[in-house]
Chain A
């Protein structure tokens, strides 16, 4: 009986002591949805919903209180932005300096695409037909006709003469392909 009592006592003590430390406030789903949009201001890389810090706990309580008072999601988010600045938003705002984070990748991708397109236009010049097998390289042609040989001396290899039987030819080509890895 003694150990049981003792452990009950310890559990009660622990609960009393830790209720503050662990975020013991249950968030209903709406509060959690709002908390997930907010960055915990004192910790790094965690949202208010997931952070174990005291401040995040208080912010969750504020969100719940405001929800109970009938405030809407936008109002609550705006309240936190007013208090903590744009940095409290997990998704960077699409205005002011926040716009730069959204636009730069799109710009770079567009510039890259234009550059690549122009480069390809320069590289691709009409040249005399070179390719005896210009058809699609399906697995069939991969197994039977090896893809272009590893680059050698800058010149394309010319066509060779084919052996007599088609089975022989296929075997020989498989050997050849195998050699080339």
Chain B
């Protein structure tokens, strides 16, 4: 079985390398047969890697411990539901997953874009298969998931207990797929540079792929936070860990890209800039994969450490050097075809948005690599922990949120100061009012939190006004009733209003993150059975410890009765699990009681021989709204990327009934 999988990977490597050479050669030699064969090769690689992945999955299902990766990441006791988690729980498996999904996406793009200009697609295929070749090399010869054990063990080592969680089934695949899917916009960018067709066309075909990649990576980040919150047991969902930072950075640059690309679509400006943003997003995605899977920067996430580091660094250097030279070579052709008209314009607000996103990513990147920098420069490893990121990123994020309310109200090209002033006074007033109201209730000692709430209220007001005005205008124009008018408004302008929905989701997340950061209550205490602890409005009574065993694991659990306002509202169980083979690394199950207002979050920290136990208790306000906000964002992204059913896109350039009133 091991040989079978290995052969599939090596074959995929060879075919990918062939396609990466055949595609551009076909353009050079004007040989359509070569292009067709490269196209077939793309599909072939997808099939081969699917076979390899299925083989590894089968090896897990049949407990084939002759394969080292299977022996190291599963055991006979491991429940079937965790097979998928074991699949990408280690380095080789997660890289196989990366390569496999890339091969599937490449095939999908090839099929979808069959009718697109073959020259452009040849270079797209070249880029995709070039990246694929690198992963084939790693999977086939450096970190093979099909490496064999010298002696077949009777049982496997088992999965890292941190990964024994349902969240593991969703969070790593989403994150890895998110990294991977930025390869597609990157490939289109490279193809545009290589062919010299740098007009609006490549942007059009890239925009939707970029949106998909942005959404997948965003969901991956969100699920990562959800997993960390439930499993790591320190009371939070985001620890500014190097792995988390590397996952959020490409997403942030990608966010800057999907905004500034609109300027290029509308105005033919910022061509170099957008190109650079796509390239940088891809660099950061590769860097992220590398950080997650090499352990170069110490982090709780880097379970796997091995020799792939130099390969990734070499690959990244090659990619950066070659694409940047391409970019410089094409600089003359990337001249802007328009000029900016005014500071009071949507273009200008997008540029400020870009500046802030870049500054934010620089701060995160700098903080992430600084321990290595200080070690290299001075020999001492300076720690850059969450306080740094909170203090630097927090204010930038608040300004970015406020900008979400400014940008959409700004007209393209040029706005008039008086009318803009009229437009902005009510929502700004609403924001100030909300900030003041929260301050009166909660106190004014956390000005940053109040600023954040104010910004969120301001954005909400602008979005609500936009929706309201748009719906009324549509009703006036068409005579539809309100609900229908709203529905049609959104579905006919799905990009604009999908964007608004995403913004609303971001506001929900921002409110919840601000509240749970600024107003978290925390206590720790050692309790004897029968003793109680008061945290915020909750009173916890320790009912005692219990020990039980499940296959492959011993569990020590503590039960606590929860009272809110002197009324018993339920019991919470929190436990420590000692998995066989990982006894010194117990995992924690957090007891969480969620209400719309707050989460009661109880962690069993330890116990004494006399039956007393110590607990860490957190009351985290509004946390559930983070996850709900994430769902709203995903829904908004879906609305924005939903294809318009009408075949009228083709007629955009055609003259239509002499109607251009209002189009400046």
Among B300, B346, B605, which residue has its beta carbon within 8 angstroms of that of A22?
Answer: B605
A134 to chain B: closest residue by CB:
B414
Tell yes or no: B337 within 8 A of A by CB.
yes
A151 to B338, Cβ gap below 8 A?
yes
Within 8 Å of chain A (Cβ to Cβ): is B440?
no
Closest residue to B412 on the A side, CB-wise? A148
Does B125 sit within 8 A of A, measured CB to CB?
no
- Report the Cα distance A161→B656, complex, angstroms: 12
B411–A19 CB distance below 8 A: no
Q: Given A26-B525, A89-B383, A92-B388, A179–B646 Cβ distance below 8 Å?
A: yes
List, in ascending order, chain A residues with CB within 8 A of B268's CB.
151, 154
Is A173 part of the binding interface, using a Cβ–Cβ cutoff of 8 Å?
yes
Q: Which residues of A contact B493 (CB under 8 A)?
A: 142-143, 177-178
Asked if B30 lies at the interface with its beta carbon under 8 angstroms from chain A, I say no
The residues of A that contact B265 with a CB separation of less than 8 Å are 150-151
Distance A161 CA – B292 CA, assembled complex (angstroms): 59
Residues in B neighbouring A127, C-beta threshold 8 A: 339, 341
For the complex, is A74 an interface residue (Cβ under 8 Å from B)? no
In the complex, which of the residues B346, B378, B382, B653 contacts A137, with contact meaning CB atoms closer than 8 Å? B346
The yes or no answer to B160 lying at the interface (CB within 8 A) is no
Nearest CB of chain B from residue A37's CB, rounded to whole Å: 8
* A97/B414 in contact, CB under 8 A: no
Query: CB of A70 within 8 A of chain B?
Result: no
Known pairs A24-B607, A105-B363; A149 contacts B473 (CB<8 A): no
Q: For the complex formed, measure the closest distance between the CB of B55 and the CB atoms of chain A, giving whole angstroms.
A: 34
How far, in angstroms, from A152 to B545 measured CA to CA in the complex? 72
User: Which residue of the partner chain A has the closest CB to B364?
Assistant: A105
Q: Is B113 an interface residue (CB 8 A)?
A: no
The verdict on B242 contacting chain A, using a C-beta distance below 8 Å, is yes
Contact A125 B661 (CB under 8 A): no
* Nearest residue, chain A, Cβ from B556: A14
**Do B664 and A148 have beta carbons less than 8 Å apart?**
yes
The answer to whether A144 and B608 touch (CB under 8 A), given A116-B351, A135-B415, A150-B652, is: no
Residues of B within 8 A of A150 (CB): 200, 265-266, 652
Beta-carbon nearest neighbor of B342 in chain A: A124
A86 surroundings in chain B (CB, below 8 A): 380, 382
* Nearest-Cβ distance from residue B652 to partner chain A, whole angstroms: 6
Q: Is A142's CB under 8 angstroms from B470's CB?
A: yes
A145, B367: Cβ atoms closer than 8 Å: no
Let me know if A90 and B387 touch, CB within 8 A. Answer: yes
Residues of the A chain whose Cβ atoms lie less than 8 Å from the Cβ of B242? 45
* Given A90-B386, A149-B660, A180-B652, A7 contacting B547 (CB threshold 8 A): yes
Given contacts A44-B299, A154-B337, A179-B651, contact A147 B411 (CB under 8 A): yes
Contact B359 A112 (CB under 8 A): yes
User: Would you call A181 and B359 a contact (CB within 8 A)?
Assistant: no
Q: Of residues 1 to 43 in A, which have CB atoms within 8 Å of B's CB atoms? A: 7, 10-12, 14-16, 18-19, 21-29, 32, 39, 43
Which chain B residues lie closer than 8 Å to A27 at the CB level? 524, 614
Number of interface residues of B (CB under 8 A): 119
Among candidates B419, B495, B578, residue contacting A181 with C-beta atoms closer than 8 Å: B495
Partner of B606, one of A19, A85, A92, A104: A19
Per a CB cutoff under 8 Å, which of A101, A102, A140 touches B470? A140
Digitize B368-407: 1 where CB-to-A-CB distance is under 8 Å, 0 elsewhere.
0011011001101111111110001000100000000000
Given contacts A22-B586, A124-B342, A177-B492, are A39 and B385 in contact (CB under 8 A)? yes
Cα A151 to Cα B344 with chains together (Å): 19
Contact flags A155-181 to B (C-beta < 8 A → 1, else 0): 011111111000101111110111111
| A123 touching B525, Cβ below 8 Å | no
Contacts of A141 in B (CB 8 A): 411, 662
Option from B342, B494, B606 in Cβ contact (under 8 Å) with A25: B606
Report the minimum CB–CB distance from B298 to chain A (whole Å): 4
A133 to B664, CA, bound (A): 7
Knowing A105-B359, A132-B662, the reply to whether A120 touches B478 (Cβ < 8 A) is: no
Q: Mark B638-664, 1 if CB is under 8 A from A, else 0.
A: 000000101011011100111111111
In the bound assembly, the distance between CA atoms of A52 and B586 in angstroms comes to 9
Please choose the segment from B17-25, B66-74, B278-286, B461-469 that sits at the chain A interface, where 4 or more of its residues have CB less than 8 A away.
B461-469
A residues in contact with B586, CB < 8 Å: 18, 21-22, 52
B539 within 8 A of A: no
Interchain CA distance A22-B608 in the complex, whole Å: 10
What is the bound-complex CA distance between A97 and B420, given in angstroms?
A: 46
> If A124-B343, A134-B411 touch, does A156 touch B474 (CB 8 Å cutoff)?
no
Q: Least Cβ distance of A169 to chain B in Å?
A: 7
A137 and B412 contacting across the interface, CB-CB below 8 Å: yes
Asked whether any CB of chain A lies closer than 8 Å to the CB of B532, the reply is no
Contact for A167 among B351, B477, B523, CB less than 8 A:
B477
Chain A residues, CB < 8 A from B609: 12, 15-16, 19
Please indicate the chain A residues that have their CB under 8 angstroms from the CB of B472 in the complex. Answer: 140
Cross-chain contact B547 with A145 (CB below 8 angstroms): no
In the complex, what residues of A have CB within 8 A of residue B299's CB? 44-45
Q: Are A146 and B607 in contact (CB under 8 A)?
A: no
From residue A25, how far is it (CB to closest CB) to chain B in Å? 7
Closest to A181 in B: B644
User: Per-position contact with A for B598-625: 1 when CB-CB < 8 Å, else 0?
Assistant: 0000000111110000111000000000
A75 adjacent to chain B (CB < 8 Å)? no
Which residues of A sit under 8 angstroms from B644, Cβ to Cβ?
A: 178, 181
Instruction: Give the contacting residue for A101; candidates B343, B388, B468, B494; CB below 8 A.
Output: B388
Q: How far is the CA of A106 from the CA of B388 in the complex (A)?
A: 12
- Is A138 a contact partner of B423 (Cβ separation < 8 A)? yes
Contact with B along A84-120 (1 / 0, CB 8 A): 0111111111001110111011101100110010001
> 28 pairs across A/B with beta carbons < 8 Å?
A19-B607, A21-B583, A22-B607, A24-B606, A44-B302, A45-B299, A46-B234, A52-B586, A92-B388, A97-B377, A101-B374, A109-B355, A116-B355, A120-B351, A130-B413, A131-B341, A133-B662, A136-B409, A138-B465, A143-B489, A145-B663, A148-B663, A150-B652, A151-B268, A154-B268, A157-B664, A172-B659, A176-B656
User: Besides A101-B388, A147-B266, 13 other CB < 8 A contacts?
Assistant: A14-B547, A24-B605, A26-B606, A46-B234, A102-B392, A108-B359, A109-B355, A133-B411, A138-B409, A139-B469, A148-B412, A179-B648, A179-B656
Instruction: Rank and list the top 8 A-B pairs by shortest CB-CB distance, nearest first.
Output: A145-B662, A26-B526, A90-B385, A24-B606, A139-B470, A44-B298, A26-B614, A105-B363
